[in-house]
Amino acid sequence: MTIKTCIFDAYGTLFDVNAAARIAASESGRETLAAVWPKLAEDWRSKQLEYSWLRTVAHRHIDFWQITQDSLDWAMEASDLHDNELRARLLAVYKELPAFPEVPAMLEAVKAKGLEVAILSNGSPSMLVSAVRSAGIGPYLDDVLSVEEVRTFKPHTSVYDMVFDRFGRSQSEVLFVSSNGWDAAAAAAYGFATVWVNRNGLPVDRLYGRPHRILKDLSSVPELV
């Protein structure tokens, strides 16, 4: 079956989630953050995902922006950072995360092939609007789908159902691209053709699905469609 729709995860896939801590740490007067920013970024991201999964299992949904704030608070405390101004700065940068360098040209090339292109993300609508606008990738997207429509997080199947509800494509007509191994695995089990963007060279997750392709970055995605 020919791929007709290409769906991308947002955070960590199109947008660099480590950039908020890295950018803030590079600013004048941020020496304390500069010493610990890689740990802060890692803790922030791991708690962000952990909280989304736990809230899904417990049926206690809140939007991803609140989860992002809660996970930052945990990460800052774990690094002994108690600075409200720094917290505000980190969140401000997170709202406008940069895209990875290859993203604009990759999306333009996929769109030029006549495919429908969209984001499917845990992010709240306001987060996604800000990130898409600041990265300048809006012209390449047919839609931006937020889990707030179904009020649960990935990898719940109702999230992947949103692609069918929006585009009406069968699973085999969809290429799903994510930098999260668990997300790519779940999407593969759902029936999508999947790409795992494994930027860090991690092992494949032992789950109920397995990504069909593994890439180091997004630059070769247009060749797959």
Same domain, 54 and 110: no
87-116 tens-digit pLDDT: 999 999 999 999 999 999 999 999 999 999
Q: Which of 74, 95, 116 corresponds to the end of one domain? A: 95
Distance from the first to the final alpha carbon of the chain = 11
Same domain, 56 and 146: no
Closest CA to 97 of 137, 53, 153: 137
SS (H, E, C) 85-109: HHHHHHHHHHHCCCECCCHHHHHHH
Q: State the CATH number of the domain containing residue 56.
A: 1.10.150.240
Same domain, 25 and 10: no
Q: Which of 77, 95, 113 corresponds to the end of one domain? A: 95
Structure tokens of 27?
Answer: 């600013």
Q: Which of 66, 95, 124 corresponds to the end of one domain? A: 95
Range of the domain at 189: 5-15+98-224
Q: What is the pTM of this model?
A: 0.96
Q: State the CATH number of the domain containing residue 133.
A: 3.40.50.1000
Same domain, 169 and 193: yes
Active site members: 9
User: In degrees rounded to 5, what are phi and psi of residue 98?
Assistant: -75, 150
pLDDT band at 1 (very low <50, low <70, confident <90, very high): low
CB-CB contact of 77 with 160 (8 Å):
no
Same domain, 160 and 135: yes
Between CA 182 and CA 197 the distance in angstroms is 11
142-172 tens-digit pLDDT: 999 999 999 999 999 999 999 999 999 999 9
Task: Count the domains in the chain.
Answer: 2
